[in-house]
Amino acid sequence: MMFQSFEVASNPATAAPRVAKLRAELESLGLDGFLVPRADEHQGEYVPARARRLAWLTGFTGSAGVALIMKNKAYLFVDGRYTLQAAEQTDPEIFTIESLVDTPPPVWLRNVEKKLIIGFDPWLHTISETKALHEALEKNGGSLVAIKDNLVDMIWDDQPAPPLEAVTIQPEKYAGKFASEKLQELAEAVAKAKADATILTDPSSIAWAFNIRGNDVSNTPLPLAFALLPASGEPLLFIDKRKLPIETEAYLTQLSTLRPPSSLEGDVSTFVAGDKTVMLDPALAAEKLRLIVEQAGGKVVDGLDPARLPRAIKNPVELEGARKSHERDGVAMVSFLSWIDEQAPGTIDEIIAATKLEETRRTVAEGFQMPLENLSFDSISGAGPNGAFAHYRVSTASNRTLEDGELYLIDSGGQYRDGTTDITRTLPVGKPTDDMKRKFTLVLKGMIAISTARFPKGTRGMDIDALARIALWKQGYDYGHGTGHGVGSFLSVHEGPQSISKRGVHELLPGMILSNEPGYYKPGSGGYGIRTENLLIVTEPEVPEGGDIPMMGFETITLCPIDKRLIDTSLLVREELVWLDAYHARVREALLPHTKGDEREWLMAATEPLAHNS
């Protein structure tokens, strides 16, 4: 069984009757419109089939978006990644495409200058989002109305049931810390915030805190659940017991009181009765939780999810697991890349390549007796102009052959019990042009600049983001995504609060794992995409020889050759050449013992030093 599917279930023709049914519900409730976000009750990156309301209603299958269905018009808000996809997957007679970045729903509603009554499902919007929507509508005399029963659910006759995948225990040998210790530290954080309790809504935080993993959503090993963590006393874990094998249930019973999800509203109301204070993260918690607390007489205080930062700062066991998982992943990548080089141009396509890489990861993981649990995301397998879409997802409809004279971009990763991987490599198919080599080398300079950066305590991702872009900027180029995102430990491949980007406001701390992935994208006929990505660990501060103050830096943990055929060495300075040779020597030393035959010969050649004057 393959983890990744290449069939995109989208049919624009289904939207018309479904939107008509929803509009009939609008009329019965006296609403001018209803919001349908791509979200579930946990506000996660991945949602279960039951929560894919936006895709079911509109046909749009992207990972971010929201629809506003009005009585006579309908709007779909998506970001720049999905503008073309949204146009292809939706009926233009029904939906007008709007920018989720420039004119998100609160801005759009504020600009309409009409008195509108808009309905929404408070489980599917965060406290912060809801506040912005309230303010926008009230400015024009309108109102935002919380609807008890989601209007899409009311008309979705064959809506899938909630997922019931088995929950497993993440052993301490991979977690590095007992769940009891983590829960005690979180309770102390709640008390320090002068709250009586917090509600964990992010399944990643619950999985980390309780040392459990699940399979309720694709790509990320999450059990969908909520947890009420009091400042003192036993936590309440709201999870369907049908997900819990006997061993897991016995384990969790020692850490918490297990309650069914249907009890969440009543149990929270009972807990807060008597003026209790509950800390909620306004950027993560659903508006419904705020309403439950306040309607029961409790008080809500804003506060960050207390598990978010400690799970971002990996302990030594998690860091060692990350290193080991990347070594195995590197072996798989060498096997895949050597195979790609054996294929003649025009003989394989994006799906064949992505399938081969998944099969290779499985085989290598089994050889190391560490199963591949899942892909950490659907592989971005883009040939030629398809590679110019930074978040391209290949399907049977878009599948393209790797043709001579083009570039091929493969961005992929695996989920292993001891770590989560994410790597991008760009390869020439046949002979690359001088323009391709120039752009590839400019991107490489940015990747090396981040890899070799040194910075003092307090440095944020936004403070060093420009290092990855400066070589491109000097030539009049840029890329439209962040340089790096946080990565979890057998958890989400996109983890906060850390990032290297223009919006990366959190300071970088030792033990955090981040990606390092500058790029360049040339759309259209003859276009291509270039991205080179390694994962990094933020290192402990040390005073450089002859220096005055401690400096942090990065340890690169990705182990895979960077294609030398695309490098214009005349554009690299000596420090960059030395770093690249040293990196390739390290890759060779780590991976060579695990290769043989043609793969061994390929690795030897791929990691030979570059010709340059030392």
Mean pLDDT by 10 residues, the chain (614 residues): 76 89 93 96 93 94 92 91 81 91 93 92 97 94 95 96 96 97 97 97 97 96 97 97 97 98 96 93 97 96 96 98 97 98 96 97 93 94 94 89 97 97 98 97 98 97 98 96 96 96 95 98 93 98 91 98 97 97 98 96 97 62
What per-residue confidence (pLDDT) applies to 612?
A: 65
What per-residue confidence (pLDDT) applies to 613?
A: 55
In sequence order, which residues have a C-beta less than 8 Å from that of residue 440 and are 6 or more positions away? Answer: 426, 432, 520, 530, 532, 563, 566, 567, 568
Say if residues 526 and 536 touch (Cβ distance below 8 Å): no
DSSP string, 209-273: HHTEE--SSSSS-----EEEEESSS--EEE--GGG--HHHHHHHHTTSEEE-GGGHHHHHHHHHT
What per-residue confidence (pLDDT) applies to 8?
A: 67
**Spatial separation of the C-alpha atoms in residues 456 and 105, rounded to whole Å:** 39
CATH class belonging to 313-605? alpha beta
Q: What is the pLDDT of residues 422-476, one digit of tens each?
A: 999 999 999 999 999 999 999 999 999 999 999 999 999 999 999 999 999 999 9
DSSP string, 113-137: -S--EEEE-TTSSBHHHHHHHHHHH
What per-residue confidence (pLDDT) applies to 82?
A: 77
What per-residue confidence (pLDDT) applies to 480?
A: 87
CATH number for the domain running over 12-155: 3.40.350.10
In sequence order, which residues have a C-beta less than 8 Å from that of residue 22 and are 6 or more positions away? Answer: 34, 57, 69, 151, 152, 155
What per-residue confidence (pLDDT) applies to 278?
A: 97
Report the CATH architecture of 168-304.
3-Layer(aba) Sandwich (3.40)
What per-residue confidence (pLDDT) applies to 83?
A: 79
Beta-bridged to residue 500, according to DSSP, are: 484
Say if residues 380 and 410 touch (Cβ distance below 8 Å): yes
Fold match between domain 12-155 and domain 168-304 = yes
What per-residue confidence (pLDDT) applies to 101?
A: 87
CA distances from 293 to 180, 264, 467, 575 (A): 27, 11, 45, 57
- pTM of this structure: 0.94
Residue boundaries of the structural domains of the chain: 12-155, 168-304, 313-605
Tallying the residues shown for the chain, one arrives at 614
Say if residues 451 and 547 touch (Cβ distance below 8 Å): no
Q: Please name which of 229, 303, 302, 304 lies closest in space to residue 267, comparing C-alpha atoms.
A: 229
Amino acid making up residue 243: K
